[in-house]
Amino acid sequence: PFTIHKLAGLAAGILLAVIVYKTHQAAPLGPIEIAAIVVTVLFFAGTVVAGALLSINEQASAIILRLHQILPVLSLLSAAGTLYLLL
């Protein structure tokens, strides 16, 4: 099923990508910024994969459900930290 939180996650990912791109155009990114971006992308990707697995199989394991509950929070915290480093 399609819900609004999927659009919100997509919009947040696009916004973060635009900010990273524009920041990189203004000045080169350092290794700490790059590491923060990589971690954030991995958390976002993990959230999407866990959500897709839940959509495909509504009786997915408890581990996938728990990951889908935890990874968005980690994505938010990581994105906030990345934005702090970039702005």
Q: What is the DSSP letter of 60?
A: -
- Taking only the tens of pLDDT, the chain with its 87 residues reads 568 888 898 999 999 999 999 999 999 999 999 999 999 999 999 999 998 898 888 787 899 999 999 999 999 999 999 999 998
- pLDDT, position 1: 59
- pLDDT, position 59: 81
Backbone angles phi, psi at 27, to 5 degrees: -155, 150
